[in-house]
Amino acid sequence: MKDGVAIITGAGRGIGRATAETLAGRGYRLVLVSRNEAELREAAAKVKTATLVAPADVTDQAALRRVVDQALQEFGRIDAIVNNAGYAPSRKIEEMTADEWRATIDTNLSATFFLSQAVWPTFRKQNGGVIVNISSAAARDPFEGLSLYGAAKAGINLLTLGWAREGQAIGVRVHAIAPAAVETGMFRSLVTPEQYPTEKTLSPADVAKVVAGCITGELAHTNGEVIWLHKTL
């Protein structure tokens, strides 16, 4: 959609930034969200499109509602959201603290619900919209220590199916993309190149292309499904 508007969380780096660059190349105006304003401004400087920098804590429901309001004030519509923000501490069950539990669930799962719920009335009014949820291969086969992260992402997969069914009557599509290892800072904070070679990882741009296909309709038939991505060697 020419001049469509997309909100992207976790937009300052990795998959989020790559998604911003890809959607900008397809004519989308952008609302970039994360807690790190400096990274958002760096990302905004790299795209040639109208961009709203909206620093926010994605675990704060009220903050995400304000982002939606800001997007509507700036652009008058919202056509897509990409729930990409993530947090993945590597902890075995006996090591996980209550705070880390809450942060993992809130950043990955609750934030996806908060933003999707906030934008749903706009999609209903427009009779259309797209939600793309970034899941993970950890939802079905987590590395040791990532069971909580995988559980949060598995929750996203189920929400995707349920929301896709709810959205059919108002023209809303909901997709989940579950990549295997992606060459990002978060992944490399968990696994070294010696443990998982770079040649086996996807690039953020690989994932961004699939996100764009879901939003623009090239992958419309995957509505409600989980798209599992992995590097083919």
Percent helix / strand / coil, the chain, rounded to 5: 50, 15, 35
Over the Cα atoms of the chain, what is R_g?
A: 17
Residue 231's pLDDT is: 79
State residue 2's pLDDT score.
65
Q: What is the pLDDT of residue 189?
A: 79
Residue 233: what pLDDT? Answer: 58
pLDDT at 35: 95
Query: What is residue 126's predicted lDDT score, i.e. its pLDDT?
Result: 97
State how far the alpha carbon of 178 is from the alpha carbons of 142, 160, 223, in Å.
12, 12, 14
The reply to whether 149 belongs to the active site is yes
- What does the pLDDT read at residue 185? 80
Enumerate residue ranges in the chain where pLDDT < 50: none
- What's the pLDDT at 228? 96
Torsion, Cα 63 109 101 17, to 10 degrees, reads -70
For domain 5-229, the CATH class is alpha beta
